[in-house]
Chain A
Amino acid sequence: MSDLDTKERIQPGTAPGEDVAFEIHGDGDFPTADMSLSIGPAHPATHGVFRIVLEMDGERVREARPVIGYMHRGFEKLAEYRDYRQIKALVNRHDWLSGFSNELGVALAVEKMMEMEVPDRAQWIRMLIAEWNRILNHLMFIGSYAIELGAITPMFYAFREREDIQHLLESATGGRLHFTYNQPGGLKIDLPKGFLRESQRLSTVVRERLPDYFDLVLGNEIFQGRTKGIGPLPSDVALSIGVTGPTLQATGVAEDPRVTEPYLKYGEIDVPVPVGENGDSFDRFSCLLRRIQASLDIIDQVHDHVPPGPVNSKLPKMVKAPEGATYVRTENPLGQLGYWLESDGGRTPWRLKMRTPSFSNVQAIPYLMEGVLLPDAISILGSVFFVVGDIDR
């Protein structure tokens, strides 16, 4: 990390949006003018249409302003006009890398409102698939973060693993990204024969391949040079901003609804929550990588628990949540996902408010990027882990 003394030169008090493009800095000898640089909406590092306006002094970022909304698809409003079955297909598309976890949230909310008993078998299978989904998601970010730092190879390895896992999940759910496997009261259909055996096998395979990522990325001195000490996020700031998931855990806060407020059967098994120390990019990434290990541990435990029995309970002809409201939070791969479901007793929700992890995570960007160099800004951008659809919804 290079010297931060120039940070003092940054004049506070320039409001976002204020035109500072030609403000002259420096004293006499080598005055510099600011340049405002738009990262995005179509930039390789933003994985979609996300935009950050950087006010730059040379290569140093004076101010970063995320501009969101390019991908707003009106999910919350749409959900008011879709019945619960259709919502399931809708929500697994706002964070397209965690389809199963999203639909799980909605299913849990509806079940909570209808006071439905979910068979044990369904709950364990849900956990199994949710953890596989988490691994899928994390692998994607491991690959893409490495790409952002210029290492192209981890992406290919990550996709190799992803392909195998997707193939496994496809055999049960029929989908590779958008699983639509949940339904209020359980699952759509039971697992096919041999799924659990295959899942066990795959968990050993992925576990064997994980050291490659540690060696190739985490242990690499250049990677450490690029991430250690970059964008440190103190835990109090993180909590005040509302950052969750690996980004929060990297700051040393072991907050995870699977442990602090267990849903499904997470309370019955041991859920490891890896935490970091400084909350810098390195910690965020290492948390992500260790969360894969944690998920594999959970998967291995689940394999021993799946009981025989039914996977769904009898549903009324039309699923209608009774009048009232509820809030359900789950640990999505990227952080805490919350659904506030309010119903007037009809066949569609009266209101479905989403609290998506990516939206909260990117709120930390202006804080983190102030005064860093442009390459570090990218290193930070990649390490707060967001999916654009999940920000804009």
Chain B
Amino acid sequence: MAATSPPGTGLLKGLGVTIKHLFQRPATLMYPYERNELAPRTRGVIALMDENCTVCMLCSRECPDWCIYIESHKETVPPAKEGGRARTRNVLDRFAIDFSLCMYCGICVEVCPFDALWWSPEFEYSEYSIDSLLHEKEKLRAWADTVPAPPPLDDGAVLPAEVADAIEKAEKERELAEAKAAEEAQAKESGAAGGAATPAAAAKEPEVEVKAGEIDQETFDQLIAEGKSERIARSKAKAAWVKKEKARLKAEAEQGGGDAAAPAAAPKPAEVHVEAGQIDQETYDQLIAEGKTERMARAKAKAAYVKKEKARLRAEAEQAAPSGESAAPEAEAPAKKQLSEVHVEGTGEIDQEVFDQLIAEGKSERIARSKAKAAWIKKRKQEQLDQEGGA
């Protein structure tokens, strides 16, 4: 019986072990002041890229808890080509995941064939009321901005054939694109004098820059000023941007219709259908070049494609609508609209000069960037004014 013998070595060793730890640095991580870096594969929250979702319902059917709610309606798409067949497609109305039921098994993400669902390591979405754990489409979309790039695989791993191919292809394409970019730059330089060529180029260029991750600077700044964290502000601003953009496009479309005095045509142009599944090669290449993985790049490029295509179709529709009605003013109206589109869509662009200067002045990167953006927009406007004057 240990207790009856004078304290033995075992007792002293216990004291030794504990006192040793007294002088070591505590292992505690002072959350929320310090944060652990979570692995990219961490199953924190499910993000939805709704642009990619084709409402196939696989996720909802496979979910062991049936906690994914999807609502949709069918729509008829006008034939893509002259004389083609009209097709029907599903339009996503509601996509919600009830995180109070979800058991984070990952089956939905696994089964989604269109890369619309992703895991994000974010986990700080606890709520005071259990209903608030029902995340609707917008909220799920906002999480998509927090999805990290998947980690590279172990050296011994075998890449799936398609991924290996795609990487090879992407390499080649990037080279091609670089060559093309160089050519274009040359062409631009030589053609800069031509008054007619410039606006077209200007209109083109910002469109290239369209990314899913654009943010609404105003909202962003405001939220930052309110003391929100950068991450939250960014994701909210992104959502705000999407909303605003939609509203703007709609308004424009309506206006476009109004200009042409064809109210019947007005609601039409806003509803443009784009078949998902194609990718925007430019965006894709760029993302690959940025070091994003293939899967991620593909998904984002898909989203970008859809967006671009929509914008294009809308623009076409707008152009088409007035042209049918009145002959004379239409030539200018769409042109103006396009010009106005130029600066809004281009908010992602920054004025490098101003940026460099501000950085040199010791401003923080964020401030410099936002100011440079503003500067860029101003410049563009000025340019366009000049051009219009010239024309």
Direct contact of A and B (CB under 8 A): yes
Interface residues of A (CB under 8 A from B): 82-83, 85-86, 88-90, 93, 121, 153, 157, 160, 163, 167, 170-175, 178, 180, 188-196, 212, 215-216, 219-225, 306-311
Set B9, B41, B62: member contacting A86, Cβ < 8 A = B62
Set A121, A189, A192, A221: member contacting B10, Cβ < 8 A = A221
Complex alpha-carbon distance, A90 and B107, angstroms: 12
A residues within 8 A CB of B103?
89, 93, 178
With A219-B9, A222-B3 given, is the CB distance from A308 to B107 under 8 Å? no
List residues 55-91 of chain B with CB under 8 A from any CB of chain A. Answer: 62, 64
B residues within 8 A CB of A310?
158
Whether, in the assembled complex, B2 has its beta carbon less than 8 Å from a beta carbon of chain A, the answer is yes
Q: Is the CB of A89 within 8 A of B64?
A: yes
- 12 A-B pairs within 8 Å (CB atoms) are namely A85-B110, A86-B107, A88-B105, A170-B39, A170-B41, A178-B104, A180-B106, A189-B41, A192-B154, A220-B2, A222-B3, A225-B2
Set B7, B8, B154: member contacting A193, Cβ < 8 A = B154
With A174-B42, A221-B5 given, is the CB distance from A191 to B154 under 8 Å? yes
A residues within 8 A CB of B62?
83, 85-86
Q: Is the CB of A171 within 8 A of B151?
A: yes
Set A160, A174, A221: member contacting B8, Cβ < 8 A = A221
Complex alpha-carbon distance, A184 and B66, angstroms: 23
- Stretch of B14-22, B184-192, B278-286 lying at the A interface: B14-22
Complex alpha-carbon distance, A188 and B153, angstroms: 13
Q: How far is the CB of B164 from chain A (nearest CB, A)?
A: 12
| New A-B pairs, 4, CB < 8 Å, besides A180-B106, A193-B151 | A190-B157, A192-B152, A193-B152, A215-B10
Closest to B159 in A: A190
Q: Is the CB of B18 within 8 A of A170?
A: no
Whether, in the assembled complex, B13 has its beta carbon less than 8 Å from a beta carbon of chain A, the answer is yes
Complex alpha-carbon distance, A224 and B13, angstroms: 14
Q: How far is the CB of A285 from chain B (nearest CB, A)?
A: 14
Whether, in the assembled complex, B1 has its beta carbon less than 8 Å from a beta carbon of chain A, the answer is yes
Complex alpha-carbon distance, A221 and B6, angstroms: 10
Set A170, A175, A308: member contacting B155, Cβ < 8 A = A308
Interface residues of B (CB under 8 A from A): 1-3, 5, 7-11, 13-14, 16-18, 21, 27, 36, 38-43, 62, 64, 103-107, 110, 119, 151-158
Complex alpha-carbon distance, A89 and B107, angstroms: 9
Set B13, B119, B158: member contacting A215, Cβ < 8 A = B13
8 nearest A-B pairs in the assembled complex, by CB-CB distance? A221-B2, A308-B156, A89-B105, A190-B157, A171-B39, A192-B151, A174-B41, A225-B2
Q: Is the CB of B10 within 8 A of A308?
A: no
Closest to A88 in B: B105
A residues within 8 A CB of B2?
220-222, 224-225
With A85-B107, A178-B104 given, is the CB distance from A216 to B17 under 8 Å? yes
Closest to A156 in B: B27
Complex alpha-carbon distance, A124 and B8, angstroms: 44
Set A82, A174, A195: member contacting B106, Cβ < 8 A = A174
Closest to A92 in B: B105
Complex alpha-carbon distance, A215 and B11, angstroms: 9
Complex alpha-carbon distance, A85 and B64, angstroms: 9
Residue of B8, B27, B36, B152 with most chain A CB atoms under a 10 A cut-off: B27
Complex alpha-carbon distance, A180 and B8, angstroms: 47
A residues within 8 A CB of B154?
190-196
With A90-B64, A180-B105 given, is the CB distance from A224 to B10 under 8 Å? yes
B residues within 8 A CB of A193?
151-155
Q: How far is the CB of A32 from chain B (nearest CB, A)?
A: 26
Q: How far is the CB of B58 from chain A (nearest CB, A)?
A: 11
Complex alpha-carbon distance, A306 and B154, angstroms: 11
Q: How far is the CB of B153 from chain A (nearest CB, A)?
A: 5
Q: Is the CB of B43 within 8 A of A174?
A: yes
A residues within 8 A CB of B43?
174-175
Closest to B27 in A: A160
Q: Is the CB of A190 within 8 A of B39?
A: no
Q: Is the CB of A311 within 8 A of B105?
A: no
Complex alpha-carbon distance, A88 and B156, angstroms: 26
